[in-house]
Structure 1
Amino acid sequence: MAKCVLITGCSVGGIGNAFARAFASRGISVFATARDASRMENLAGLPNITLITLDVTSCDQIAAAVQKVSEKTGGTLDYLINNSGQHYTMPALDSDLDTAKRLFEVNFWAVLQMTQSFIPLLIAARGTIVNIGSIAGITPFPWMSVYSASKAALHAFDTTLRYEITPLGVDIMTVITGAVQSRIADNAPKFKLPNGSRYPQAEDLLKAIALGKGVDRSTMTTTEVYAEQVLNDILRPKKGRVWHGKYARLTRWMLSPLPMTVQFRIFMKRSGMEALLG
């Protein structure tokens, strides 16, 4: 029987969509999911791909997805890829708590719920969980503290979860992701500093960051290349933490030997903080 994978966040133009096409091209049966199935229209009708409407923050929709996959596969799932994510650019002091909590719902709590819900199928298949992390959870990214915290929480969760599920025959892989030509910023909250912000002089800079302006997307890793690189790692026996996307491996190399004080100076300069503070 062909292996199967469920992937969250498969809207067109994103990483999950590229994952779906990459897995399907290898003959793996794909359950591609998104909150709005119409945003996966480019996947409709492709061989080896089944579309499922799934809001990862909905317990009912997760339960329905588990049932559908179980019926199709006989109760097994070889790979679960938790790719859904939201972005948020805002100084920590100005962050809206409701927005911050919603981001954690998608970036962290949904991963826990998906893991708990699909673990019986993964155990049956001796499968693998793949969680999409970020260099933002490793390195200091000023103006993105809430997003960075959500990814750091995911990384810590994965590290501990590995000890707990390995005895059950399930592997886990964390992908520390660098700059990729995804559309995650397209779904981020509209940027506007609140009244009374302590950073009014940074508003134009922050707006540009939130919109992805000032970044040469042509130099980023394409979603197709990224998906193939990650898929190759998934299909290898060794799991754990892998690094893909522009700046990912550079970040891994750069941070390991550098004292925190040196890292602080580097990221203060790169984020524009030095200029703002004079």
Structure 2
Amino acid sequence: MSCQYRTKWLDRQNIYYNKMSIAVVTGASSGIGYSLTDELAANGFIVYACARRLEPINDLKDRHGPEKIKPYQIDISNNEEIVTFRQFLESELQNGKVDLLYNNAGQACSFATLDVTDRIMEDCFKVNVFGHINITRELSKLIINAKGTIVFTGSIAGIVSFPFMTTYSATKAAIHQYARGLHLEMKPFEVRVINAITGGVETAIAEKRPMPSNSLFNFPEGLEAFKARSKKVQKMSSSQYAKQMVKVIMNSNDPVDVYKGSFAMIARVLALFVPMWVLNKLLYKFNKLDKVESSIKQKGAKKSL
């Protein structure tokens, strides 16, 4: 290890093993955010656990103590609330430093593309893209002061567009590109930016809303394909994922993309080396769209008769 990189490594260890290290985690009330808050507190961070619902965070507050877990109610889709949060931190933190901003809050959107209304699309982009961009901008000076780290929870859906998840995929692709560009711009300020391209992890983000009654896919084979989007596959526990990501954060390396979670590396290989027509064929069959096509053709043949 060169002297330059060893110095940076030691500096980062001094920051992250300091018991006064400050982390901000959004979407902290469940899943990845909840487990990250737990793991960061266990590694000496004081965590401002941000979420719209604070009740679930109280368990972590009881476990680690109010000096380690500081719940903060915020809806990151509302920029006024983000500005208020920044002002709160500026008055709360005497040294004006945030060592880690973990942009994790997420909004599901698993519908047929043509069923996505303006409202659904806006809600998804406001949380998954605009909210992260706005909070990063507002807290940037505090992070630069600390020479800290910014992490975004990306998704394999941002590199492979899955059927019935195209709007969600678009939000994740957007945040991937934002993180990659920000990584370069923050490098002169010694701030790391990490894009955590996440595979299967046990979370509560799954879409619970039913298919709209007027959907083009509202027939038996279409409904079957729609349900196939949430097939039960083996997923990594959120606590295991959090442990892996905290190791990345504590490490001296400066990666852009980090692949974690079930099937994350497989998705990377598929996206890099499998021709698009082959990948599309696999997704078409896996999501039972071949059955949808057969049904539509049969109905068309009957009408022509």
Q: Same fold (TM over 0.5)?
A: yes
Give the corresponding residue for 1:8.
26
CA displacement 1:223-264 (0-9 Å, x = unmatched)? 000000111111112221100110001111232211111111
Q: How does 1:186-197 map to 2 (within 5 A)?
A: 188=207, 190-195=209-214, 197=216
Return the offset for 1:138.
0.6
Return the offset for 1:199.
5.1
Q: State the alpha-carbon separation in 1 of the partners of residues 51 and 289 from structure 2.
A: 37
- Does 2:54 align with 1:37? yes
Q: State the alpha-carbon separation in 2 of the partners of residues 33 and 198 from structure 1.
A: 37
8 Å contact kept, 2:53–2:73 = yes
Number of aligned residues: 270
Match of 2:34 among 17, 31, 40: 17
Describe the shift of the 1:270–1:40 C-alpha distance in structure 2 as closer, same or farther (beyond 3 A): same
Return the offset for 1:207.
4.3
- Does 2:270 align with 1:254? yes
Match of 2:156 among 135, 139, 151: 135
Q: How does 1:112-191 map to 2 (within 5 A)?
A: 112-185=133-206, 188=207, 190-191=209-210
Return the offset for 1:73.
2.6
Return the offset for 1:203.
2.0
One-letter amino acid of the counterpart of residue 60, structure 1:
E
- Does 2:250 align with 1:230? no
Describe the shift of the 1:22–1:202 C-alpha distance in structure 2 as closer, same or farther (beyond 3 A): same
Q: State the alpha-carbon separation in 2 of the partners of residues 44 and 235 from structure 1.
A: 23
8 Å contact kept, 1:221–1:246 = yes
Match of 2:222 among 189, 202, 206: 202
Q: State the alpha-carbon separation in 2 of the partners of residues 262 and 59 from structure 1.
A: 42
Q: Is the deviation greater in 24-33 or in 59-68?
A: 59-68
- Does 2:108 align with 1:87? yes
TM score, norm. by length of structure 1: 0.92
One-letter amino acid of the counterpart of residue 272, structure 2:
S
8 Å contact kept, 1:193–1:203 = no
Q: State the alpha-carbon separation in 1 of the partners of residues 228 and 288 from structure 2.
A: 12
Give the corresponding residue for 2:13.
none
Q: State the alpha-carbon separation in 1 of the partners of residues 156 and 218 from structure 2.
A: 25
Same amino acid, percent of matched pairs: 29
Q: State the alpha-carbon separation in 1 of the partners of residues 256 and 242 from structure 2.
A: 17
Return the offset for 1:64.
2.5
Match of 1:68 among 84, 88, 98: 88
Q: State the alpha-carbon separation in 2 of the partners of residues 260 and 199 from structure 1.
A: 28
One-letter amino acid of the counterpart of residue 103, structure 1:
C
CA RMSD of aligned residues (A): 1.7
* 1:50 alignment partner, SS class: strand
Structure possessing the higher radius of gyration over alpha carbons: 2
8 Å contact kept, 2:211–2:218 = no
Q: Hey, which bits of structure 1, 4+ residues long, moved more than 6 A?
A: none
Q: State the alpha-carbon separation in 2 of the partners of residues 248 and 82 from structure 1.
A: 19
Q: Is the deviation greater in 42-51 or in 89-98?
A: 42-51
Return the offset for 1:71.
3.1
Q: State the alpha-carbon separation in 2 of the partners of residues 125 and 171 from structure 1.
A: 11
Return the offset for 1:26.
0.6
Describe the shift of the 1:241–1:137 C-alpha distance in structure 2 as closer, same or farther (beyond 3 A): same
8 Å contact kept, 1:90–1:144 = yes
